[in-house]
């Protein structure tokens, strides 16, 4: 088993909160993802065993939602908003710059495991109070920078181009910016 006894106990605790065990599946998948870092086949198998559900049900539910990861990601995730309003505000230029600077394509992780570049539709509705700050493309790290995240003040973030300043905003991922604090001039 890949999941620790604590993770299996947490899944059982979630199942006890619902009249049908399937109702705890989303939470159980998050427990497994938090434990392993992503949903490996072994982690999915452990969830299936603990919940006494068919593996096909576990994988079909997990693959339906974009919040679950099926391969390891970098220590920092840069997620660029690509909905229509962000496209109109220049997300394509930012994405091209990120690809060149990090030397990866969307969905890939830098060779040193520091950054994963992702795109998604607007996700601010999932965040209670988004932090918006200008992102200077020159400060975006490359995979060859000695301490890319710390040097640039870039950690896990989402990028949303903004109309008013012509810059881009950033919204902390789950877990926040972990130590990054924008300067007062950066906050909109």
Render pLDDT for 130-139 as a digit per residue (tens, 0 to 9). Answer: 334 445 555 6
101 phi and psi, to 5 degrees? -65, -45
Max mean pLDDT among 61-70, 81-90, 120-129 falls in: 61-70
Where does residue 102 fall: left (phi above 0), alpha (psi -120 to 50 degrees), or beta otherwise?
alpha
pTM of the model: 0.58
Distance between CA atoms of residues 140 and 97, nearest Å: 9
Residues 161-187 have pLDDT tens digits of 544 333 333 333 333 333 333 333 333
Nearest to 32 by CA among 60, 1, 74: 1
Does domain 76-172 match CATH 3.40.30?
Answer: yes
Sequence spans of domains, the chain: 5-64, 76-172
């Amino acid at each position: 088993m890949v999941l620790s006894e604590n993770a299996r106990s947490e899944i059982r605790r979630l199942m006890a909160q619902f009249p049908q065990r399937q109702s705890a599946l989303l939470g159980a998948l998050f427990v497994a993802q938090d434990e392993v870092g992503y949903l490996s086949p072994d982690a999915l198998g452990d969830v299936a065993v603990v919940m006494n559900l068919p593996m096909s049900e576990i994988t079909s539910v997990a693959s339906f939602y974009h919040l679950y990861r099926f391969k390891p990601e970098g220590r920092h995730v840069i997620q660029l908003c690509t909905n229509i309003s962000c496209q109109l505000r220049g997300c394509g230029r930012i994405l091209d710059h990120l690809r060149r600077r990090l030397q990866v394509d969307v969905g890939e992780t830098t060779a040193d495991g520091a950054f994963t570049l992702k795109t998604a539709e607007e996700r601010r509705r999932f965040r209670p109070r988004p932090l918006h700050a200008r992102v200077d493309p020159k400060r975006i790290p490359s995979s060859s920078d000695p301490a890319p995240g710390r040097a640039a003040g870039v950690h896990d973030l989402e990028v949303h181009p903004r109309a008013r300043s012509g810059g881009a905003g950033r919204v902390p991922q789950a877990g926040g910016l972990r130590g990054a604090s924008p300067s007062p001039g950066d906050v909109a």
